[in-house]
Amino acid sequence: MNTTTMRLESPGLLARRTPYDWVFALLIVLGAAYAWQRYGASMDGYERGILLGAVPSAIALGWFWGPLRTLMLGVGAASLLGIGLYAQVGDGFGADLDAGQNKLLLKYFLASQSAILWMGVLFWLSTLFYWIGLLGRGRAQTAERLGSVFAWGGVAMALIGTMVRWYESHQIAPDVGHIPVSNLYEVFVLFAWLTAAFHLYFESLYLQRAREGGTVHGESSVRSLGAFVMLIVSAAVGFLLWYTVSREAQQIQPLVPALQSWWMKVHVPANFVGYGTFALSAMVAWAYLLKSASPASLRTAFVYVPIGLTLVLLGFQQLGGVSPQVETALGKSLRMVVGVGLFCGLTLALRGLIVAKLPSLELLDDVMYKAIAVGFAFFTIATVLGALWAAEAWGGYWSWDPKETWALIVWLNYAAWLHMRLMKGLRGTVAAWWALVGLVITTFAFLGVNMFLSGLHSYGEL
């Protein structure tokens, strides 16, 4: 049979669609039509364009990865339920948010803060069960499956909280409403669910290959990566909890003038796809090194380096003469380094149990590469969009602001990693160590700049 015949007999894209695919697409179109009819008068041209573009994008995503159909429909239904409950307690302007707390479902599940707290609980449970599956025996696969289920639940609650928070912001005052990606609290929610969602995608991809008899050896080995990736998601949740308690960061605030732009709606999410996938690649690199690197090099990197950094930070604190901002940042950095060092030491102590459950080095290397490739593409888009936004807001595409400078460093780091991978065949422990260093650079660009430096992008204080 020749190639032409095979191509003719292969079903096309539309022919492969199931009835559920078409029902999903219809519901997306109807939902967008309702949003246009209900809120179109208050949208500007850019927002209408984003809404129209979101329709084919959402349908394509749902058709590309089936579980997203159920996720999007479930999140949409729950968000509309929350909004409907708020509408029942309206005041002269809109919904009375305080009165909404008298509604049982809003108070405990669907109000934005309640949903985001549920997100945190579910992500922590996901991490716990992934680790039970990784270290346990007997019913380990059951625990790992529960880890996946809880991760899906956390993503769903994060999205519900985000959608309802968006609505809540518009009920405070006409000039307060905005998409919730404007401060550290909101972007940490974005980071948590994006990272978890990409992990779930890679997990489902390699599980499918395992079931089809590919190169992956067993369902349990594929799911074992959840123990590593969900750790960083749980760390983000821990930060959110601290930030909420210490700063009351969950309170919705008006946008500062520079953020009152439609560019924010596209620049920030694209940026955090990059941050999330870079973090995912680093956690997979950590697993790769546990399986392949020598014990001496692991002890040096995961024990001695954190101890050395701790001593350096303590020394800086004792020297004095630094600004209060830097002194506070040093204290926070010290706590982070100590926490990372303690956990790294624990994983080294359990290395034998962990390595026995990890998938092949080839799979780990492939996930690491795919995550960095996706993250680099979106981070490049975000950087270009940020330059266009800067030109509109400040009159220039680039000002060498600390955030811009470190974003360029992050971009150059991963550009070099991909260049070495594609042109020179970079593989193995060198690529894994580099991916871990990339996470350190990315973390400083994301948080360190806010802690130690100031500039045009200093919208969130730690």
Over residues 370-387, the pLDDT tens digits come to 999 999 999 999 999 999
Distance CA 450, CA 443 (A): 11
Number of neighbours of residue 158 by Cβ within 10 angstroms: 27
Q: Is 90 exceeded by the pLDDT of residue 75?
A: yes
Over residues 138-197, the pLDDT tens digits come to 677 889 999 999 999 999 999 999 999 999 998 888 778 888 998 889 999 999 999 999
Number of neighbours of residue 184 by Cβ within 10 angstroms: 20
- The residue type of 107 is K
Give the model's pLDDT for residue 87.
86
Give the model's pLDDT for residue 91.
61
Q: What's the rounded mean pLDDT across residues 414-433?
A: 94
Distance CA 123, CA 378 (A): 24
Over residues 277-329, the pLDDT tens digits come to 999 999 999 999 999 877 777 777 766 666 666 666 666 656 655 556 555 66
Give the model's pLDDT for residue 433.
92
Q: Domains of the chain: which residue ranges? A: 286-462
| Token pair listed for 124 | 């922590």
Largest CA distance in the chain: 79
The phi, psi pair for 90, rounded to 5°, reads: -75, 155
DSSP for 242-267, written as a single string: HHHHHH-TTS--PPPGGG-STHHHHH
Give the model's pLDDT for residue 6.
42
pTM: 0.91
Distance CA 411, CA 195 (A): 19
Q: Is 60 exceeded by the pLDDT of residue 349?
A: yes
Over residues 317-334, the pLDDT tens digits come to 566 555 565 556 666 666
How many degrees, rounded to 5, is the angle at CA 417 between CA 411 and CA 421? 145
Q: Is 60 exceeded by the pLDDT of residue 455?
A: no
Give the model's pLDDT for residue 333.
67
